[in-house]
Amino acid sequence: MVSKTLMDFFKPPPIKRPKTSNYCNNESQNDVVLTPEQKLKIEFNKSLANAKRNLKICSDKLSKADSIGEEYVKLEELLVEDTWLEAMQGELQKVYARNLCKFVESEICGAGVPIYPPQHLIFNALNTTPFDRVKVVIIGQDPYHGPGQAMGLSFSVPDGVKVPSSLTNIYKELHKDLGCSIPSNGNLERWCVQGVLLLNAVLTVRKHQANSHAGKGWEKFTDAVIQTISQKKKGVVFLLWGNYAQAKAKLIDGVKHHILKSAHPSGLSAHRGFFGCKHFSQTNQILEKLGMPPINWQL
């Protein structure tokens, strides 16, 4: 049974219709005046509904495969977000991607070790944050390799799972930078729905074996994702934490986009430049200067 990972964070308040006086008939009583906050909430809920739709499509494909005794759904069938399929047209049909698909299939079906995240969440980052909504990119390395941790979003864990140390440090920096209260859960999906792409460089991993799927083709695919964003969009903020993520800067047009670098938020390096980087407030300042709504980082 596939567990749900998306939550209804909030519903838009009932839309109040403007009062009309008896002596003024210039505006139709059906006209609705929305505040900027109401518009943001409506847009948020539309994006959330789209993400839930994509998740259900992937879950249904897995259920259908299971019902006919198949252990695996082909990778190219699990990337279902239309805007990414258009932006990355043909990428998963390339030779390297077909070899990657064969490798992942063999790992799921024959490795004898659980592969994370669950299949329906492998492309969760792309299926949750459409290409046309991407405003911020946070790059991780590979999925968490403990049971129940990986959900296809860098640094994020499902509700009810202990918050990892790196994410705890991210919350601490958010508190110091923007005054955000520190949440008790590690589910970052609310960021994704607002346009924050939480992209790992490698999208699958063996249980308890960090980097076990590195060098198998995922890096080439996610590099293509980064390059596609760089080439086809403008004004995206890339948050590159640690040496691994910073190496991706060569894929990004620094004239068209904004690149913010710091140490990694892990316990080993957060004190060497992540704490105090103020990347969250800087990101919102950049977005506002570009005329885009800032990210509500509070979870």
Q: What is the pLDDT of residues 216-254, one digit of tens each?
A: 999 999 999 999 999 999 999 999 999 999 999 999 999
| pLDDT tens-digit series, residues 62-116 | 999 999 999 899 999 999 999 999 999 999 999 999 999 999 999 999 878 999 9
Task: Report the distance separating Cα 183 and Cα 168, nearest Å.
Answer: 9
Model confidence band, residue 11 (pLDDT cutoffs 50, 70, 90): very low
The residues that are catalytic are 142
Q: Say if CB 227 and CB 88 are below 8 A apart.
A: no
Pairing mode of beta strands 136-140, 237-241: parallel
Higher pLDDT, 39 or 14: 39
Helix (H) or strand (E) holding 58: helix 36-67
Two structure tokens written together for 110: 């024959």
Instruction: Give pairs for 290-298: CB < 8 Å, separation 24+.
Output: 290/235, 292/135, 292/235, 293/40, 295/135, 295/136, 295/191, 295/194, 295/195, 295/196, 296/190, 296/194, 297/174, 297/178, 297/180, 297/191, 298/178, 298/180, 298/181
Residues 6+ apart with CB under 8 A from 168: none
Buried b (16+ CB within 10 A) or exposed e, 152-164: bbbbbbbeebebb
- Asked if residue 117 has a cis previous peptide bond (ω within 30° of 0), the answer is yes
Angle at CA of residue 51, ends 47 and 53, nearest 5°: 115
Over the chain, what is the mean pLDDT? 91
Amino acid at 142: D
| pLDDT tens-digit series, residues 187-202 | 999 999 999 999 999 9
Predicted local confidence at residue 30, as pLDDT = 54
Burial classification of residue 134, based on how many CB atoms lie within 10 Å of its CB (0-12 exposed, 13-18 middle, 19 or more buried): buried
Residues found in the chain: 299
Higher pLDDT, 17 or 169: 169
Model confidence band, residue 205 (pLDDT cutoffs 50, 70, 90): very high
Task: Report the distance separating Cα 299 and Cα 199, nearest Å.
Answer: 19
Does 27 have pLDDT greater than 70?
no
* pLDDT (mean) for 13-28: 44
| pLDDT tens-digit series, residues 207-225 | 999 999 999 999 999 999 9
**Strands of 152-269, DSSP E:** 196-200, 205-206, 237-241, 258-262
Residue with tokens 């209260």: 181
